[in-house]
Amino acid sequence: MISLQFLTSLLGEGRKLSKANEYIFYCPVCHHKKRKLQVNVDKEFFHCWICSVSCRSLHSFVKAYFPHRLDSVRSNKKSDKKNNLSQYAEFESDFQDDEEQELCLPKDTLCIKDVTLKQIKSIPGLKNAVLYLKNRGITSKHIIKYNLGVCGYNSGRIRIVIPSYGSDNTLNYFVTRLVVEEQGRPKYYNSPLDHHTVIPLESHIQWNHSITLTEGMFDAIKIDYNAIPLLGKNISTDWAVFKKIINFNKIVYLALDNDKYGLEATIDIAEKLLFYNIECKFVDLAPFKDAGSMSKRDYLLKRRDAISINEFWIMNKKVECVD
């Protein structure tokens, strides 16, 4: 069990939730104004409900975001590694946080394009995964282009695997999404790497053209038009993707979720881009809730009517957010 005193020294004062051993803190990654980083001190599981940062042990969390406190972890840790991975048994042999190793997909990952029709019909998990993608509007073209996969089909906790490749076509990140949601189990389980240091789906990006920023992987895949997922609602000037945007200086279309938090994030990102003289435009997704609910054609029509962002637009939207 993680020492609450140690957590407080890292994250500041937290708040106890109704569930046993569950606390919520301010996230040190996205710095959301509300406490959104949920921590299970018994299982040593960390998850931010805004930026989707997830770590399955105290060691991996501190290593990623507080490396100068690693020595303190060894003296404050209260439980062994077996307990750390109990909630994610299906992944426990895939990664070792204590050692540097080459990134790889979960060990039982199958590329959907390589799965036979007989397998789909005979293995319930595979059939459910294919139906899930179909219901989300993911076509065979998406499956092949983005090399979508499945894992956990033998354990009954099947997940869609969305790999990301860098400009050199090597795996730089991945996201997995539960097909059937379970109470107490986060929908997403991501690569143990810090996604701020990589550019998700970079192998599909043409930097000499305008780009679109979305929140999630499925948003970028459905748009399928030079789109980069932020894997959350925020971006910082020290992120790899931000530095690349500044370097190439092309128009950035902001297509975040169609809700209050999406608008607030759009304002924040636009202010950062304008500071570096990057032209950015707001894509109004209404009546769709997010880019993942749209077809590529729907998005291109919305993109055509995108609104150029300037300081007056930002001020007006700030007033909207207050109302």
Q: Rounded to whole angstroms, how far apart are CA atoms 289 and 306?
A: 16
Residues 111, 86 share a domain: no
Residues 45, 149 share a domain: no
- Residue 28's domain spans which residues? 4-91
Residues 228, 319 share a domain: yes
Q: Between 70 and 321, where is the model more confident?
A: 321
Residues 234, 217 share a domain: yes
> Does 270 score more than 90 pLDDT?
yes
Mean pLDDT, range 34-39, rounded to an integer: 88
Last residue of a domain, which of 35, 61, 91? 91
pLDDT confidence tier of residue 118, bands split at 50, 70 and 90: confident
Residues 322, 220 share a domain: yes
Residues 271, 249 share a domain: yes
Q: Rounded to whole angstroms, how far apart are CA atoms 259 and 288?
A: 10
Closest CA to 219 of 140, 104, 113, 298: 298
Q: Rounded to whole angstroms, how far apart are CA atoms 72 and 189?
A: 26
Rg (CA), the chain: 20
Please indicate, yes or no, if residue 96 is contained in any of the structural domains: no
> What are the Cα distances from residue 316, in Å, to 155, 287, 304?
50, 20, 22
Q: Rounded to whole angstroms, how far apart are CA atoms 9 and 128?
A: 44
> Does 95 score more than 70 pLDDT?
no
pLDDT score at 250? 95
> Does 76 score more than 70 pLDDT?
no
Last residue of a domain, which of 185, 210, 242? 185
Q: Rounded to whole angstroms, how far apart are CA atoms 220 and 297?
A: 13
pLDDT tens digit sequence for 201-210? 999 999 999 9
pLDDT confidence tier of residue 75, bands split at 50, 70 and 90: low
Global confidence as pTM: 0.70
Mean pLDDT, range 5-26, rounded to an integer: 85
Q: Rounded to whole angstroms, how far apart are CA atoms 110 and 123?
A: 12
β pairing state of 227-229 and 211-214: parallel
pLDDT score at 183? 67
In the numeric block, which tokens belong to residue 124?
């319930």
In the numeric block, which tokens belong to residue 25?
């803190």
Last residue of a domain, which of 142, 167, 185? 185
Mean pLDDT, range 77-82, rounded to an integer: 41
Cβ atoms of 255 and 210 within 8 Å: the answer is no
Q: Is the dihedral of CA 223, 225, 231, 234 positive or negative?
A: negative
Please indicate, yes or no, if residue 314 is contained in any of the structural domains: yes
Please indicate, yes or no, if residue 97 is contained in any of the structural domains: no
pLDDT score at 88? 40
Q: Between 67 and 176, where is the model more confident?
A: 176
Please indicate, yes or no, if residue 208 is contained in any of the structural domains: yes
Q: Rounded to whole angstroms, how far apart are CA atoms 179 and 114?
A: 19
Residues 76, 131 share a domain: no
Q: Rounded to whole angstroms, how far apart are CA atoms 11 and 267?
A: 26
Domain at 60, CATH number: 3.90.580.10
pLDDT score at 121? 80
Residues 217, 241 share a domain: yes
pLDDT score at 93? 39
pLDDT score at 96? 38
Cβ atoms of 252 and 313 within 8 Å: the answer is no
In the numeric block, which tokens belong to residue 99?
């050692």
- First CA to last CA distance, the chain: 43
pLDDT confidence tier of residue 99, bands split at 50, 70 and 90: very low
Place of tokens 């202010």: 271
Please indicate, yes or no, if residue 23 is contained in any of the structural domains: yes
Domain at 304, CATH number: 3.40.1360.10
Residues 109, 82 share a domain: no
pLDDT tens digit sequence for 230-269? 998 889 999 999 999 999 999 999 999 999 999 999 999 9
Mean pLDDT, range 21-36, rounded to an integer: 84
Total number of domains in the chain: 3
Cβ atoms of 14 and 25 within 8 Å: the answer is yes
> Does 84 score more than 60 pLDDT?
no
Residues 224, 277 share a domain: yes
Render 232-267 in DSSP notation, one character per residue. Answer: SS---TTSHHHHHHHHH---EEE---SSHHHHHHHH
In one letter, which amino acid is 73?
Answer: V
> Does 78 score more than 50 pLDDT?
no
Which of 10-14, 23-27, 191-195, 208-212 shows the lowest mean pLDDT across its residues?
191-195
Residues 249, 201 share a domain: yes
> Does 16 score more than 80 pLDDT?
yes
pLDDT score at 213? 98
Residues 149, 241 share a domain: no
Please indicate, yes or no, if residue 172 is contained in any of the structural domains: yes
For the CA atoms of 264, 270, 272, 274, the dihedral, rounded to the nearest 10 degrees, stands at -150
Alpha helices in 58-100 (DSSP H): 58-65, 70-76, 81-84
Q: Between 322 and 227, where is the model more confident?
A: 227
pLDDT tens digit sequence for 53-65? 788 888 888 888 8
> What are the Cα distances from residue 288, in Å, to 10, 34, 259, 320?
39, 26, 10, 19
How much is the mean pLDDT over the chain?
85
In the numeric block, which tokens belong to residue 119?
């397998």
Which DSSP state fits 185?
B
